[in-house]
Structure 1
Amino acid sequence: MTSILMVAHDSPYGSEKLYNALRIALALQEHSDTPIQQRLFLMSDAVGAALSGQQTPDLSYHIGQMLELLLAQGVPVSLCKTCVEARGLSAERLIPGVGIGTLVELTQWTLASDKVIHI
């Protein structure tokens, strides 16, 4: 089984970097011919993607829903604790199932992964 870690840094809205990272993650889950183990770690401004209750304009992509799909598919999603605290976020405001992790967790995930993608 291939293990893939995706680490994203960009804000959820304003550019399409995080959107495209989540599109890749969803495509990997849905179209892989062999089983994969995928993990997602959000850092910097990307932690805002995990806020529940996001409101988006009509016909716009919805980052929160994309994260919910990944979680439903069994993909662990963790946020950098330092980044969360620096932005005044709390666990109560996050999409259910999203965890708050540390650099120790990110280090362990990195060492356990066959492939690491930074976006």
Structure 2
Amino acid sequence: MTSILLVAHDSPYGSERLYNALRIALATQEHAEQPVQQKLFLMSDATVAALSGQQTPDLSYHIGQMLEILLAQGVEIAVCRTCAEARGLTPDRLIEGVTIGTLVDLTRQTLAADKVIHI
């Protein structure tokens, strides 16, 4: 089984970088010919993508829903603890299933992954 670690840094709605990264993750889950284990680690401004209760009536996409779909597909999603704390994010404010991770967690995931993608 191929393991992929996707590390995202960009704001969820400031550009389309995170949106496109999540599109790739979803497509990978749906169209891989062989099982793929994906993990997503959100850092910097990407951490706010994991906020629950997002309201996006003016946008054609909803980052929170995309994360929920990935979680339902078995993708592990974590936010950087230091980055989350700097933005006032606490576990109770995150989408259910998203965890708080550390730099040590990210390091271990990086070393264990077959492929690492930074967005």
TM-score in same-fold range (> 0.5):
yes
Superposed CA deviations along residues 25-58 of structure 1, whole A, max 9, x for unmatched, are 0000000000111100000000000000000024
Q: Show the counterpart of 2:42.
A: 42
Unaligned runs of 5+ in 2: none
Q: Distance in 1 between matches of 2:8 and 2:59?
A: 24
Q: How does 1:33-112 map to 2 (within 5 A)?
A: 33-58=33-58, 60-112=60-112
CA shift for structure 1 position 109: 0.4
**TM-score of the superposed pair, with normalisation by structure 1:** 0.98
What is the CA RMSD across the aligned residues, in angstroms?
0.7
Identical aligned residues as a percent: 78
Moved over 3 A (4+): none
CA shift for structure 1 position 13: 0.3
Q: Distance in 2 between matches of 1:102 and 1:13?
A: 24
Counting matched residue pairs gives: 119
CA shift for structure 1 position 59: 5.1
More displaced, 5-14 or 52-61?
A: 52-61
CA shift for structure 1 position 14: 1.6
**TM-score of the superposed pair, with normalisation by structure 2:** 0.98
* SS of match in other structure, 1:95: coil
